[in-house]
Amino acid sequence: MSSLGGKKIILGVTGGIAAYKTAHLVRLLIKAGAEVQVIMTPASHQFVTPYTLSTLSKNPAYTNFFNDAGEGGTWNNHVDLALWADLMVIAPATANTLAKMANGYCDNLLMAIYLSAKCPVMVAPAMDLDMYVHPTTDRNLALLESYGNLIIPAEEGELASGLVGKGRMAEPETILQTVKDVLLNNLPLKGRKLLITAGPTYEPIDPVRFIGNHSSGKMGYDIAREAAKQGADVVLVSGPSNQKIAHERVKVISVMSAMEMYEACHQYYADVDAVVAAAAVADYRPKEVATEKIKKNSEEFIIEMDKNPDILASLGAIKEKQFLIGFALETQNEIEHAKAKIKKKNLDLIVLNSLKDEGAGFGKPTNKVTFIDKDFNIEPKELKSKEEVAQDIIYKIIKHYE
C-alpha cells in the first residue's frame, strides 16, 4: 500500500494565486494513496477551476452548501465531511481566511467544515510579504497555533506582485512531507523531551526596581515552537517576556530571577534528552533586596552583588544522556570565548552570536550565528530570521538522535 493509503484528507483551497499549485498537491496526495476531498472558497475559482481539482482528486470539488437550489435539493453536510477526514489541509490560506479561522467566521462551506473538524488541521499561508508580516496576520497565526492548528510557514522568494520576500506558499512537496509526518506519526523528535530557557532574568533591588537585560525571549520561544513542531515535548523555562506560545506539547514555566530559573531547570533536567539555553541570565544579583522602595537620599548608591550560579555549567556538571546546547553572546574575541564556554560548561554545541554583527542578538527578528561543536568544528551561518535559526538548532538535535 502507498504511504498514505486509506488516509482521508480534506484539502481546502482559498483565493490566492498560489491556488494554481494545488493541482500538483492533489496529484502528490493521490499518488501517495490518500483519498482527497477538495473544498473550495468561491474566490479560489478565479485561480484554479473546480473541474481541474475534481478530475485530479477523482471526487467532486465542493464550494457551496447546496448542490441544487430549492426543494428537494441536496446539500453538502459540513459536519459529515469534517468527521470523514483524518486530516484537513488549507492551502493556500489567504490573510482573509486566516482572519476568519482565527475569529470563528462561518460564511462559506470551508469555514463551516473547519469549525466542525475534530481532526488535525494544517494551514499553509500564502500572501504578499507586507500582508504576511502585518501584526494582524501574525496574531491570527498565533491564535490558530493556540487552537492546535499546525502552521506550515510561508517561504521566501519571488512573489506574484514581483516583490521578493516571505509569503510564498510552501512547496507542495513540503506540504506532502508535513502531511506524512503528522498522519504517520513520524515526527523526528516524537518521544523526545527538551528543556529550553528563554528571555532575561530580573534580579530585584527593591519592590519596584531590578537589574535586567535586553533579551526579548524571541530566540528561545522560536526554538521551543520548532521543537514542538518536530514532535518534542518541551519544557520552556522563561524569564519575563512578552512572547506568547500556546502549543499542546509546550509547558511554560515562568520565572523571574536567575535563582528561580536554576531551580526550575534542575527540577526537569533529569528527565530530558536535550537542553537549549537561550536565556540571558544575570551573572550577579543584589546581595540584599530591600523590602520597601529605596529613597534617593544620597548622591551615590552602591549595590553589593552576589554571584549567581551558572545554570548551564551546573547542568553540564551532572550531564548523563543529555545533549547540551548553550548560547554565547559576545562582543569581542568571539570564537575563543565561545570555545572556552564549551569546555567550562561541558557542552556538546554552542551557538555563538555577536553583538558586533548587524541584525544579531537581542530583540531583533533576525540572528546571525556560528555553530561550534565540542570538537571545535566551526560552522558559520548567514543572517537569518530567528525562526530559521531555530530550525537549524533543532535540526542539530534531530541529527544527533538519528
Interface segment toward ligand PMT; rule CB under 6 A; list 13-21, 58-66, 133-141, 308-316: 308-316
Residue 141 engages ligand PMT in binding (rule: CB under 6 A): no
Residue 158 per-residue DSSP state = E
Size of the site for ligand PMT (CB under 6 A): 27
Contacts 24+ apart (CB under 8 A), 42-48: 42/15, 42/108, 43/14, 43/15, 43/94, 44/13, 44/14, 44/15, 44/16, 44/19, 45/15, 46/15, 47/15, 47/16, 47/17, 47/19, 47/20, 48/13, 48/19, 48/20, 48/22, 48/23
In 320-360, which residue ranges form alpha helices assigned H by DSSP?
Answer: 334-345
User: Please, is 288 exposed, middle or buried when counting C-beta atoms within 10 Å of its C-beta (0-12, 13-18, 19+)?
Assistant: exposed
Residue 283 engages ligand PMT in binding (rule: CB under 6 A): yes
325 has binding-site annotation: no
Nearer to ligand PMT, 127 or 328 (CB): 328
- Residue 397: which residues within 8 A CB-CB, separation 6 or more? 189, 192, 194, 227, 274, 276, 323, 325
Residue 310 engages ligand PMT in binding (rule: CB under 6 A): yes
Question: Cell digits for 325?
Answer: 546546547
Contact 222, 263 (CB under 8 A): no
Least gap, CB of 307 to ligand PMT (angstroms): 8
Of 22, 97, 353, 370, the one binding ligand PMT (CB under 6 A) is 353
Residue 368 engages ligand PMT in binding (rule: CB under 6 A): no
Nearer to ligand PMT, 112 or 393 (CB): 393
Q: Cα-flanking dihedrals φ and ψ of residue 372, to 5°?
A: -130, 120
Residue 328 engages ligand PMT in binding (rule: CB under 6 A): yes
Contact 326, 312 (CB under 8 A): yes
Q: Cα-flanking dihedrals φ and ψ of residue 16, to 5°?
A: -135, 160
Cα separation, 298 vs 15, whole angstroms: 67
108, 213, 297, 346: which one is catalytic?
Answer: 213
118 has binding-site annotation: no
Residue 326 engages ligand PMT in binding (rule: CB under 6 A): yes
C-alpha to C-alpha distances, 253 to 145, 226, 264, 315, nearest whole angstrom? 19, 18, 7, 18
Of 95, 98, 170, 279, the one binding ligand PMT (CB under 6 A) is 279
Residue 393 engages ligand PMT in binding (rule: CB under 6 A): no
Least gap, CB of 397 to ligand PMT (angstroms): 15
Of 63, 308, 354, 391, the one binding ligand PMT (CB under 6 A) is 308
Nearer to ligand PMT, 165 or 309 (CB): 309
One-character DSSP codes across 166-217: EEEPPPHHHHHHHHHHHHTT--TTTT-EEEEEESB--EEEETTEEE-----S
Q: Respond yes or no: is residue 297 known to be catalytic.
A: no
Nearer to ligand PMT, 16 or 361 (CB): 361
Residue 278 engages ligand PMT in binding (rule: CB under 6 A): yes
Of 361, 368, 370, 397, the one binding ligand PMT (CB under 6 A) is 361
Residue 323 engages ligand PMT in binding (rule: CB under 6 A): no
Within residues 178-217, the interface with ligand PMT by CB under 6 A covers 197, 199, 215-217
Residue 311 engages ligand PMT in binding (rule: CB under 6 A): yes
371 has binding-site annotation: no
Of 362, 366, 384, 392, the one binding ligand PMT (CB under 6 A) is 362
Least gap, CB of 44 to ligand PMT (angstroms): 37
| Strand boundaries in 248-356, DSSP class E | 250-254, 274-277, 284-286, 305-307, 323-330, 349-354
> Which residues carry out catalysis?
213
Binding-site positions for CTP: 283, 293, 309-312, 327, 341, 345
What residue ranges bind ligand PMT (CB under 6 A)? Answer: 197, 199, 215-219, 258, 277-281, 283, 308, 310-312, 326-329, 341, 353, 361-363
